[in-house]
Amino acid sequence: MANLWKTKIFDFCPTVIYYSPVMPSEYEITYLSDPNLSDDIRGEVDSSIDSQITQLGGAIAQSSPSIRRRLNFPIKDQTVGFLRALNIQIEPDQINAVKTFLNKKKEILRATVLATSPQAEVTPDMLFKTAAPKTKTSDEPTTKKPTKAVTEEEVDKGIAEALQEEVK
C-alpha cells in the first residue's frame, strides 16, 4: 500500500478510502485525413497531433504511417482518405483535450479514440517457446512402414463390399 493515497470522505467520518494515483491509460487513436492535402501538409498535421499528445504529458507507443484508403461511404464529400493509427499512453483526464484537438482540425475527416487494455510485452523467451519446433525425444528412428501397392481390382472389390453392407 506504499503507492496508495489515503483520504477521508468527511472529517467526522472514520471511514478511510485508499486509492492509487492516476496512472496513464492506453488509447488507440485512428483518424482519416483529407486526401486533397499534399504530402508535406499531411506530414505537418501528423506531427502536430504527435506534438499535442506529448505536450499533454502523453507518450506515443506506436504509430503507423498514413495509408490511402477508399471509403465505403463519403465522409465530408470525400470517397478516399489517408488513415493513420496511433497507440498512446496518456492520463485519462487529458484524453478529452486530445479529442477536442482532433475534432477542431479541419484537415481531419473523422477521428476515433478507443481505450485499450495494456498489451503484454513479448520477451525473446516467449518467442522461442512458441516458435521452437517440437522434436521427438525418443531414440527410436522415425521410419515409415512401406505401403503395399493397391491394384484396381482390390479397390473395386472394396467398393462392392461397402455397397453390399450399405444395402443390408
**Phi-psi category of residue 48: left, alpha or beta, with phi > 0 → left and psi -120 to 50 → alpha:** alpha
* Whole-number average pLDDT of the chain: 79
Tell me the residue ranges of DSSP E strands in the chain: 5-8, 16-19, 25-33, 59-63, 67-75, 78-90, 108-116
Phi, psi of 110 (to 5 degrees): -155, 145
Structural domains in the chain plus CATH codes: 22-116 (3.30.70.60)
Q: What is the pLDDT of residues 98-127, one digit of tens each?
A: 999 999 999 999 999 998 876 666 666 766
Let me know: does 83 contact 32? Beta carbons within 8 Å.
yes
Instruction: Round to whole Å and give the CA distance between 56 and 79.
Output: 33
pTM over 0.85: no
CA 84 to chain centre: 13
pLDDT above 70: percentage of residues in the chain: 67
Instruction: Round to whole Å and give the CA distance between 23 and 59.
Output: 13
Residue 149's pLDDT is 80
